[in-house]
């Protein structure tokens, strides 16, 4: 998970293209989701359901619920960022960060 997060962070910090920055952000989010899901894992744990034959320890369903919520938020943020990038391209003619930061003459 750390390597995946580091790859996403590298992309966000080094690439000048705004779409590549969004992709790097999504890679970082995926690493965090994986970390949260693995934190809820219990070795030899049963599913958190009531029924006959299921004995403790139970796997935690909280981690999965948090990740599902995080996926929805991440998808919404990605969609909004892509729409904003389309608008920036229409207004400024570029999505390269170094070109956007140049002062107009």
Is residue 92, in this structure, part of any structural domain at all? yes
Is residue 48, in this structure, part of any structural domain at all? no
Is residue 35, in this structure, part of any structural domain at all? yes
Domains: count for the chain: 1
pLDDT of residue 62: 87
Each residue's pLDDT tens digit, 85-99 = 999 999 999 999 999
pLDDT(101) > 80: yes
Give the integer Cα–Cα distance in Å for 74 and 82. 12
pLDDT(22) > 90: yes
Is residue 93, in this structure, part of any structural domain at all? yes
The residue segments making up the domain with residue 65 are 2-43+54-100
Give the integer Cα–Cα distance in Å for 5 and 30. 8
Is residue 62, in this structure, part of any structural domain at all? yes
Tell me, rounded to whole angstroms, the distance of Cα 92 from its chain centroid.
Answer: 27
CATH number at residue 17: 1.10.287.3510
Residue 96's SS3 state is strand
DSSP secondary structure, 56-82, as one string: S-B--SHHHHHHHHHHHHHHHHHHHHH
pLDDT(105) > 90: no
Each residue's pLDDT tens digit, 46-86 = 777 777 777 777 777 888 899 999 999 999 999 999 999 99
Mean pLDDT lowest for which of 7-16, 36-45, 68-77, 88-97? 36-45
């Amino acid at each position: 998970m750390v390597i995946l997060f580091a790859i996403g962070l590298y992309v966000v910090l080094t690439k000048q293209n705004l779409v590549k920055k969004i992709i790097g952000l999504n890679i970082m989010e995926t690493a965090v989701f994986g970390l949260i899901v693995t934190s809820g894992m219990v070795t030899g744990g049963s599913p958190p359901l009531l029924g006959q034959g299921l004995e403790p320890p139970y796997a935690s369903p909280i981690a999965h619920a948090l990740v599902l919520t995080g996926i929805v938020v991440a998808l919404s943020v990605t969609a909004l960022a892509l729409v904003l990038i389309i608008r920036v391209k229409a207004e400024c003619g570029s999505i390269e960060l170094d070109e956007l930061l140049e002062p107009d003459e």
